[in-house]
Each structure stands twice: as C-alpha cells, then as structure tokens.
Chain A
Amino acid sequence: MDRIDTYSTHEYQGYRLRAGHMLPFGATLVPGGVNFSIYSTHATSCTLVLFKKGDPQPMVEIPFLDEFSIGDVYAMTVFDLDYENIEYGYRMDGPFDPVAGHRFDKTKILMDPYAKVIGGRDVWGVAPDWNNIYQHRARPVMDDFDWEDDTPLEKPIEDLIIYEAHVRSLTRHPSSAVREAGTFAGIISKIPYLKSLGVNCLELLPIYEFDEFENSRVHPQTGEMLYNYWGYSTVGFFAPKAGFAATGKHGMQVDEFKNLVKQLHENNIEIILDVVFNHTAEGNEMGPYISFRGLDNQTYYMLTPEGYYFNFSGTGNTLNCNNPIVRNMVLDCLRYWASEYHIDGFRFDLAAILGRAPNGAPLSNPPLLEGLAYDPILAKCKLIAEAWDAGGLYQVGSFPAYGRWAEWNGKFRDAVRKFVKGGDGLIGEIAQRVQGSPDLYALRGPTASINFITAHDGFTLMDLVSYNEKHNWDNGENNNDGANDNESWNCGWEGPTDDPGINALRHRQIKNFLAIMMTSQGIPMLLMGDEIGRTQNGNNNTYCHDNELNWMNWDLVNENADLLRFASNVIAFRAAHPILRSRNFYTHSDYLGKGLPDMSFHGTQPWQPDWSNSNSHTLAFMLCGDYAKGGTQRDDHIYVAMNMYWDSVWFTLPQLPNDMKWHVAANTGASAPEDSWALGEEPVLSDQGNILLGDRSVIILVGR
C-alpha cells in the first residue's frame, strides 16, 4: 500500500514538494524523495539550497513555506532527487547583532549539523578551491549497512586493554605495506597485529569530519606543509571523515567505516572514538561560517556578555554544551554513533567543558553529563573523560561521574613517570596508582581510572626515555607549543645515541613502564607504536605533521623486536590474570579467610613496605589469586617488585602457601629473551626466598 505522503502538494521551479516530517532532524531518504529538517531558534526564515554534487553553483534554492514549519523547525520533502548526486545546504535569515549573540548572514550557505556524509574534502590532502561558496557539503546517505549479527561487544570495562591510534598514522608509512594506506580499510589489514599484541580495544583519534586544511600553512624554515592533522576540530559531528576512507572519493565512507567496526568486532576488539564536543572548526569571530555560527550563533556557542566567544578550549570558541538544544544534539549524535555504527565507547576531549554552564561556570550537576550517563542507548557504552580543559578546570578525581564516567588518569601518568625516572618521595603515591587510585576514585572504583603513561598529547614512550626537553621546532611555533612539564629523562644523552649502555637503559625503562602499567588496577591505555619504540624525534605536540613524525614506522617491529615481545608478553599476562582486573578496590584484608589478604604491600622485606623513608625507590605488592573477580574466580598469586633505585637491591619474597612456587613472568633487569616469558612457560625461581632486582628494574612473579 502506498503512503499518502509520497504525493507532492506543492511545486517550486519544477521541483515537487510537500510539508516534511520534523523528525528525524537532518536529511532522510523517504519514498520518492528526501526529507529535510532543520531548526533554529532565532532565524526568521530558511531556504534549502540544492546542488548537483560537486557543482560550484546551486541547482535550485527552495524557500521553506510558512506551512512547512512547526515551532522553530523547518521541514520539507523534495521529490525525485537523485540522492547520490546532490548536496544540500541552508540559508538562514535573521539579525546580525553580535552583542546580542546573533550573526545571521543569508549570503552564506550553511552545512546541516546533522549531515551524515560531508563532501568537499573527499580525498585527504587535496587542496580545496577556496573560492567555492560551499566548502563542507552535506549529502544524504542510505543508513542500511548489513551488520548481520554484529553488536557492540559490551566487554566489562575493567577487561579492556586500550590502544590509542590515529587512523592515518597507523598505516600511512610506506613500511606498513598496506594497499589502502592511511584509511579505515587499511586498519583492517593490521587487525592481526593488534590481536597478536593482545590489545582488545582500539581508540581512534578524531574521525568526525574535520578539515585538514584548517589553519594549514607552510613551515617558514623547513618548507613542510603543516596541517590540522590530528583533527581536534570538528566540522560535522555526525559524519565520518571522508579523507580517512579509501572510498571517500566515491562518498562511501559510511560503509567503509562501518565495515571496519564490524571487522574489529569479529576479532573481539572494541572501538572507542575520541570525540570533540568542546568546540567546532568555526573558530572565533574571525573564523568562517560553516554551520552553527550562521544557524543560531547564540544557541550553539558560549558567549561573553559583549558577544565574543569564550575560549575554554584554547581554539577560539566553546560549544554551548549545556544549552538544552545543544545538549540534545550531542545526545542525538552519540546515540547515532552507538546505534548506527556500533561504537563501543567514547573518549571526550577536554570534557571538563561539558560540565560548564552557558556562562562558563562549572556546574555541580551538569545535565549533559548526567543525561549521557543515564541514556538507554548509551547504557553499555564506555564514557571516558579527559577531565580538564584549557580554561583551567582540572577535574581528575572529581569529574561528575554518575557511576558511569571513567577518566584519563593524568595523575597515574605523572606519578609513574616521576617514579620510574628515579624521583624521591613517591612510594606512597605509587601505592595508590597501582591500586587503581583509590585516593581519587574512592566511591567509583578502579574502573574510573584509565591508566596511561603516554598519549597522543606529549612524548611517545621512546621519546620519554630519550629526551629531557621537547623539540618542537618542526611545528613552526619557535618551540613555544607543547607541554614543558614532561617528567621525562633521557638516560644520559639527549636524543639518539650509539651508546649501548644508554640504549639498553632506555629499553629497560620502557619495559618498566609497561610492566607497571599492565600490572596496575584500572584500565591500561597504550599509545600507538610505544610497543615498538616509535619516536617523534622529541616532538611532544605533533598535531600538524602529515609525515614520519606521526606515521607508524613498521620497520621498528623488527628493529625493536625485544620491546614488542615484552609488551605482548605482559599484555597477555594481564589478559590471563583476572586478579589484575578488579572491578572494586582491594581491601588489604583476608575477608574470605583464604590465608592471604586480597592485596598487600611489601618492601625489600615481606610485609614491610618502607612508607617512612622518603628516599625509598622500592615497592612491592602481592595479589592473592583467590580474590579474583571478588572471590568468584581462582587465579594465581602475583607478586610485583619495583626497584627504581640506581643500584641493584635484594628483595626477600613473601612465602607462598602450601607447596606453591614463585615463577618468573617478567624481569626487566634481564636481557631479552629472558626479560619475559610466554604464558605457561614461566620458569620456577631457583631461590624461593630472595631475589636480586637489578638497578631500575621491575620483576613480575606468578605463584602457583
């Protein structure tokens, strides 16, 4: 039976029309045509602008008739459109009164904020025609991907081992030997590598449509083209970046990205998106009209009383996240990615902004964060906050969590960095960090803590042990950009060296970091390439480089095979031992009468951690396997000793019950291949009473 709304009621310049459906917002394929729905609180009228795909000038501009709107929404169905060959935008009329927050300009063609495919930057790095009147071009899309029986994996968050990567960086380097280099499809070729490494969650730097040419420029000295490479500047929240798709030139990025998600899931790997809701690519009052500024500036942006843009993001503007309209758009967006793309979780860039009121004041009960935490579609999604912003709000430990939100634990990063480089007075804090930071997350549990040593922001792990200072000259900002406070140590020489002693120490330090991170409670996150010693030549802010500073060099798989082997072994160790992945904090008591407390701290002597000595650089802890998953699973006992002193130190081991014996799973003080052992192959320790830890070494023992 035909629907009655497949018949037109109006005609405009040969185009058949009728009043549209207000919901869903955006462009939707309906029988016989396309339904367009857009809203603006302060606009006085709206015109739909249709282009033939790629044409510089519109093919028609159709004003929304009065009878085509309800409330602040304009909706119209246009029939007989070849949906694959059109692009659409809007003109909004309304006041230009910046002091009142309004910047309407009907000479501008505006992108639909709900656009699900965006053309205009279809192939990465192909310079746009800046004279084009419509740069980022919305297109309708068929949302009918064949998922078969795929669903988000919904793994318990404490079981995740996250790998943070940039889509293009992962396979763009010639050494990747991937045909679809630098794309979503290219990542599929590296799934076997991710599986052999043992990570089970891929966290991608921004994949929402962004403009790599935003603020692009040529480095005055090196002549290198500098881009908006990382992509922390959103053009469209609902569209995957076309330039990251091998099929972007055919407009098939939606299918390509969904296929990546499906393939990851088939291989038991979750996917988390790094999402940037704190600002947009429109910049400040000097920036371009892309979408929001012309649709309803006062609604979408946090504005000063004088009508200028608040800049809590450090990038020119701040999205007005706790305005009810914007809040709903963010919710619509995340629901769309969770349901239509089967995304497993989201990491929110500069998330402290999401807790600010429209005037910038931090809210105690931010409705956006609460809404996301309780949303039925997002109910099993991981929600991870970068719990600070560029406006000085630092909420690690205090981010409004509603029992759902986890955080990038910046204090884990800082404390472990200081400890491993030999800092004083850190034993007490390290004890907190390896437990999952109960000092920060007492009421939330270790699952609130995303533990990381390095992330895209800052040094790579190899650079953390190779440079004392940042070396950001290639960024063209006179080395003024990027963090100065890195807690790094170059091990005796700034940058690359042939000194075998320094290089051995660097590898050992990397293994120390990996060993501590993989045996700590909480959720570990590894930065792409850290497992093979990827370097950025000391650059700790490579946001603008489409070159080898960012691209993963796959030749390092062989060059630093010892690091990869060690990383794989300690990751496998973590995956095999549920006692390392507790949902709740350990109590340091034997509440089930197993003979050992769930967790205990030790020093060079068992049961005697050296809390009193601020010069101590040694700490050990033991986990009782009988307490795995709250005592519901049986695991081995685990003992981890850390000696960050510059000399070797004897540790006396805690005694195991019955005739169990300590086996060596890892010892960073030993040379490869004796630095780590595959599961089940851990050798029995010959002296069950004492062990000598080399200088700056970590040992992991398993008792069974």
Chain B
Amino acid sequence: MNLWDAHPGLPPQHIKSGLHRRDFMKVITLAAASVGLTSSAAMRIAEAAFKGMKPSVIWLHFQECTGCTESLLRTAHPALSELILDLVSLDYHETLFAAAGYQAEAALKSAMAQNAGKYVCIVEGAIPTKDGGIYCKIGGRTAMDILQDVAGKAGAVIAIGSCASWGGVPSADPNPTGATGAPQLLPGKTVVTIPGCPANPYNLLGVVLQYATLGTLPALDSQGRPLFAYTRTIHEDCPRRAHFDAGRFAERFGDEGHRQGYCLYKIGCKGPETHANCSLQGFGEVGSWPIGIGHPCFGCTEQKLAFRVPLHQTVKIDRPMPPDTYPPIHADHNHISPLATGLAGVAGGALLTAGYLASKKIGASPATPDDTPGARLPAQGE
C-alpha cells in the first residue's frame, strides 16, 4: 500500500515539481531506516512532509571549508537536494542563499522570531574564542555571539562536521584562533554532534527527519553522537576486514598487497578506534570513502585521532578478535627435548656433588690439618 492509496486527498504536488513518487519514498525509507525507524514511521515522515509540517532550519557557517554542505549537495540520488529543500524549510543558509547582505540578516532575524523555540539550528564550522572571538565575524558580530543568540533560542541544535563537533581542523595544534566546537560553548544544552570530515549527509537527514516528525532526538553517546550511526567502529564492518582476519596487509603504498586491496591497518588505518557508519552507509551511496579508494581511515569522527595522531601511525586494537586461523587439537606446549633434560640432570648432579664435597670440607677442616677424612678413622678405632 502506498501513501497515495492510503491518503487519496493528498495533493500530488511533488509529482508536479518533477520529483518522482518512487524516488521520494525510497529516500524517506532509507533515511528512516538509517535512524532505526520502521517503515510505518517512514510513512509518518512522508505524511508530515506532505502536510507541510516542515521544520524551520537555520544553518550557521563559521570556521570551515563548507565541505559538509558540499557533500550534502552532492548526494547521488538526483532528488535529494530537492528533498532537503522540500522536507525542511531552510530559512537561512549562507552558501545556498540567493539573498545577501542586510537582506540575509533580515531573513535570519525573521526566521528566529517566527519559530522561536521550535527551529532547528545546524552549526557547521568551529568557533574561534581567542581574543574575544574576533577571528570570525559575520555582519559585525562574532561567531561566539551569533551561536549564543541563535542556538539559545533553538528547539534543537545539531553540530555537523568535526569542526562544529569539537573544533576539527581549525583546532589542530597550535590552534592560533582558539577554535572550539558548539557543544563546548553551549553547556547545559543538548547538542547532537555529527562529526566527520565531511559528515555523512544521511546521518544529518535522519536526525532532522526524526525531530521534524516525532519531535524527538535520537539516543546519543557520551560525545553527543547519535548511536544509530556511531556505535560501531569502522573496523567492525569494514569491507576489507576479511583481509585483516587472515593477516593480509598492505605494508606500503603501491605494494602488491595494496594493489590486491588488502587491509590498510599497517599503513595507519584508524578504523579499529573510529566510531562511524562509513562502511555501512556510503557517502552519496557510491561507496567512495578513504578505505574504498585505498587510503587508510584517518579517524575523522574521533576527537582523539583526527588532526592529532599522524596519518600513517598505527593504532592499538582495543577489542582484539580471533584471526581466521585455528589452533590444532593438541596444542604445542613447548616440548622439552630429552637431550635438554639430560643436560639439566647432569648440571644438577654436578652442583649437588660440588655442594656435598664443599660441606664435607667445611666440617672436616677445623678438626685436623690433614683433611683426608678416611685416614683418621682406623687410627681411632685401634
């Protein structure tokens, strides 16, 4: 049963706008599945979209490369960018805005006023805090000021990308601008972080859709990352995992193992410590991601790894798993050869004999200067 049969009253405006019904349902279902929602929830999402219950989204740009926005725009389904525009009401986005200057700032103010306490604030980019935050200003206001103002009145705050999540590239040593992430500047407020460099757009879509339809945020880990996407490590679901288990590694770039598509662990893959769903939910659904093109994962979703640990340094395996080899029925318990046993026996015997002789000498010497013990016994008896 499809949506149109169930709700014949719904205006098929999306068909008019060139978006095909099937594409639409496909993307909705995929997005719902990625946040762990059932297909019936997908129907509710679709209904909400059709009824025009579109949440207002205010997108803030700070210290960043706009890569997260770019990756969002370059998803493989041709309809996705339209969906973003159709499913949410994107009221302020500096990259995608037609308006500029005072017009843009006026749009921000009116969106904040109209949807106060309800809108979704998405933060992209780190916020510089050094010297009063003067290193990033928009319309004469510092990034710190804008963030406090916009995020403070939002219904939900989402930090997209590693920069907004904890500081990302701008916060790498020596961090000249004192860059930091949105959660650090919004204590006491729930900030959903979707780290990644760039972040996987589906993870953002899932969070926004859940908030739009159910009014809730997904379950988060200790760093504010949605559990539906950041529970498992790259290593656990890696397409090259079988090579790791079999001990087949690329030892250096371009070697035979690298050409064969072997595991990239030894050339610095951070997969074993990186929590993200890249290996399951492809970027733009085409499977192009570091490990897919033969480069080790660099741990972009982990604050302790990305831009801190050198690219080709190996990481410790936290939860080692069995390799795909097997111990034999009778384990080899380092058998001791008969020769070794014999030699040890001879050595032990020599030591004992030496000890016995020495003790005899000690006992005998003070009694007589002549220390041949057998000599005096017969003399005494006679």
The finding on whether chains A and B are genuine partners in a shared complex, rather than unrelated, reads: no
List residues of chain A with CB under 8 Å of any chain B CB.
none
